[in-house]
Amino acid sequence: MDVTSLLLGLVVGALLATAVTLGLVSLLGRRQPADAGLEPVHESLDHLHRLLAGIERDRATAHGELREQVSTVGATSALLRQETSALVTALRTPHVRGRWGEVQLRRLVEVAGLLDNCDFVEQPGGTTSDGARVRPDLVVTLSDGRQVLVDAKVPFAGWIEAVQATDEAVRAQRVADHARQLRAHVDVLAARHYPSAFSSAAPFTVLFVPSDGFLITALEAEPALLEHAFARDVVIATPSTLLTLLRTVAWSWRQERLARDATAVLEVGRTVHARLATLSGHLTRLGSALGSAVGRYNDTVGSYENSVLVAARRFDDLGVAESPVPAPTPVDTGVRPLRAVPPPPAPGATGTGPLAQHLPDHPAGRERAPHDLPSHRAPDGATG
């Protein structure tokens, strides 16, 4: 039950009880002699008693539920305070702080859409020009082969103390300490000369700050911190700015892959087109050979009918042969020529499509029909 509804019910019950009591006093003051006149008053008092008893029960139930909820909130707050204290204690450890920054960095490159060991490499080793061994947290590879180095080891113990401080003067001192620690880390990172350890690296190093609040708090005490870092070839990046950079790199990689795929498709298209031109030449020569074979066949049939079958029919007339010699049928079906079928020309356009430029030439203005092939007519109405 809601506490506000409970309080409202109690107030209404109290007003009702007051009104009934005043009515009872007024009735008693009139000193009505008949007991029957007091019967409605007794009924009203009984009803009021039942109503007040129900309100009391509801109030007790709501009070118990409220007490239980307050107890649960207190236990949750104590647990949250304990976990927060444990988290703060853990973040004071340099190793834990570094690991947290690495996890944040890994999450950003995954959100940006970069591919592991293709678009970026985690913690690769290298040797600077001074012979020192360095190991940046992340090396992002650009589409042109260049690399951007990212370091995520940022001290923020001063920021934690500033957040926990209750006195304004103490907080200002801790904020100044945090800005000084971040500035010192920029100087240390610049002294490591990360770009000299990688031949194709950009001439700057990205210092990743795992939270925007770390940088904003440091800039409150030292507004020139960014300029100080830029002068030493160190770029301070928060999750929002680094994500923008990584998304840009991922977009450039996608464009590079699209361009590479388009080049491959173009090469395959050229190969297929050349092979289609060769096949079209073969088909044209095969059609010519078939047309020539049909013509030779029809010539042979005509000669056979004119020279051989005439003598064979004499045997049929003399009754020597048991059955007549069958006459071969000439082939009157021509070979369909291979011709270019250009796309429908645009209104007012002339000429043929680009496909016709790579297919066998035919006489302009007409298409070869079956009757263009050599044909021979044999005697007795046989056609070739």
pLDDT in tens, 15-32: 777 777 766 666 666 555
In tens, the pLDDT along 62-85 reads 888 888 888 888 888 777 776 666
pLDDT(359) > 70: no
Distance CA 344, CA 352 (A): 9
Distance CA 202, CA 378 (A): 87
Q: Tell me the backbone φ, ψ of residue 226, rounded to 5 degrees.
A: -65, -45
- Greater confidence, 346 or 334? 334
Distance CA 137, CA 108 (A): 13
Mean local confidence (pLDDT), 318-339? 74
Answer for the pair 127, 134: CB distance below 8 angstroms, yes or no: yes
Tokens of 139: 């090396």
- Greater confidence, 61 or 44? 61
pLDDT at 86: 60
Distance CA 360, CA 205 (A): 63
Answer for the pair 175, 221: CB distance below 8 angstroms, yes or no: yes
Distance CA 155, CA 209 (A): 9
Mean local confidence (pLDDT), 126-140? 80
- Greater confidence, 377 or 100? 100
Answer for the pair 106, 122: CB distance below 8 angstroms, yes or no: yes
pLDDT at 344: 61
In tens, the pLDDT along 96-129 reads 555 666 777 778 787 777 776 567 777 787 777 7
Q: Is 224 strand, coil or helix?
A: coil
Q: Which residues pair with 140 in a beta bridge?
A: 120, 148
In tens, the pLDDT along 172-198 reads 888 888 888 888 889 988 888 888 888
What pTM value is reported for the model? 0.47
Q: Are strands 201-208 and 234-237 parallel, antiparallel or unpaired?
A: parallel
Mean local confidence (pLDDT), 203-216? 85
Distance CA 78, CA 6 (A): 29
- Greater confidence, 321 or 91? 321
Answer for the pair 156, 215: CB distance below 8 angstroms, yes or no: no
- Greater confidence, 235 or 338? 235
Mean local confidence (pLDDT), 217-223? 86
Q: How far is CA 131 from the centre of its chain?
A: 42
By mean pLDDT, which of 39-48, 204-213, 275-284, 295-304 is the weakest? 39-48
**Nearby residues of 172 by Cβ (< 8 Å), 6 or more positions away:** 221
Distance CA 156, CA 152 (A): 12
- Greater confidence, 150 or 41? 150
